[in-house]
């Protein structure tokens, strides 16, 4: 009789930086309670990145994905936001299949710089100039959130607005360290181009993670 083969599916373990139950602070889902799963690994290299501690995946232990799901369920949440780092560096199919088995809403925050995996109720695409999105993730993204560091970034935002689907929610978000310099420019831009909305990092004002 043939021996039973153990097949190690990718995504059974993920490099976990941190996980916490909080409110979404940014974009269309602002104010919504959600369990955040931050995965390690990112080589996009944004100069203003506020989660540099997540860049090196080797610094973050590989955790059983089942353990992450157990913690999600224990929290009592109905929604999970997977973020990073760049979470699409990892295969997220198993994580999402298991979350869906428990009727958990799945949200992802991604630069789109890696191939899409997972099953998502909401894809927030935040394209970065250093490493633009691959494939056609823009066609299925629910939200486009472009970080504005200087006025050149408006053209980058418009480039992706042309690509996303018609009902995609459009957000411009000031880069935090230049907030006071750039917010007047964003306000004027949105007044002239009202299909955009402003996204503020409201969790920073609420002093929550």
Both tokens assigned to 55: 């860049």
Residues facing residue 108 across a β-bridge: 82, 123
Contact 164, 123 (CB under 8 A): no
Look at residue 3 and give its three-state secondary structure: coil
Instruction: Return the number of the residue (114 or 189) whose C-beta is nearest ligand SF4.
Output: 114
Catalog residues that contact ligand SF4 under the rule CB under 6 A: 42, 44-46, 49, 51, 54, 84-86, 111, 128
| Nearest approach, Cβ of residue 10 and ligand SF4 (Å) | 21
Instruction: Return the number of the residue (11 or 84) whose C-beta is nearest ligand SF4.
Output: 84
180 φ, ψ (degrees, to nearest 5): -70, -30
Instruction: Return the number of the residue (114 or 120) whose C-beta is nearest ligand SF4.
Output: 114
Distance CA 209, CA 204 (A): 7
Greatest CA separation found in the chain? Answer: 73
| Nearest approach, Cβ of residue 13 and ligand SF4 (Å) | 20
| Nearest approach, Cβ of residue 159 and ligand SF4 (Å) | 17
| Nearest approach, Cβ of residue 111 and ligand SF4 (Å) | 4
Instruction: Return the number of the residue (44 or 68) whose C-beta is nearest ligand SF4.
Output: 44
């Amino acid at each position: 009789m043939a021996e039973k083969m153990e097949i190690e599916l990718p995504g059974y373990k993920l490099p976990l930086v941190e996980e916490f139950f909080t409110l979404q602070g940014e974009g269309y889902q602002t104010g919504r309670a959600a369990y955040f799963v931050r995965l390690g690994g990112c080589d996009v290299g944004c100069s203003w990145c506020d989660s540099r501690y997540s860049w090196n995946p080797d610094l973050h232990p590989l955790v059983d994905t089942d353990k992450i799901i157990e913690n999600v369920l224990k929290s009592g949440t109905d929604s999970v936001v997977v973020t990073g780092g760049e979470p699409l560096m990892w295969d997220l199919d198993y994580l999402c299949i298991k979350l869906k088995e428990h009727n958990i809403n799945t949200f992802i925050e991604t630069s789109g710089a890696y191939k899409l995996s997972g099953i998502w109720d909401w894809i927030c695409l935040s394209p970065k100039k250093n490493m633009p999105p691959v494939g056609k993730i823009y066609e299925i993204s629910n939200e486009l959130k472009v970080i504005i560091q200087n006025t050149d970034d408006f053209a980058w935002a418009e480039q992706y607005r042309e690509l996303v689907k018609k009902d995609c929610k459009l957000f411009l978000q000031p880069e935090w360290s230049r907030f006071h310099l750039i917010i007047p420019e964003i306000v004027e831009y949105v007044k002239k181009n009202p299909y955009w909305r402003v996204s503020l990092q409201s969790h920073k004002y609420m002093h929550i993670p």
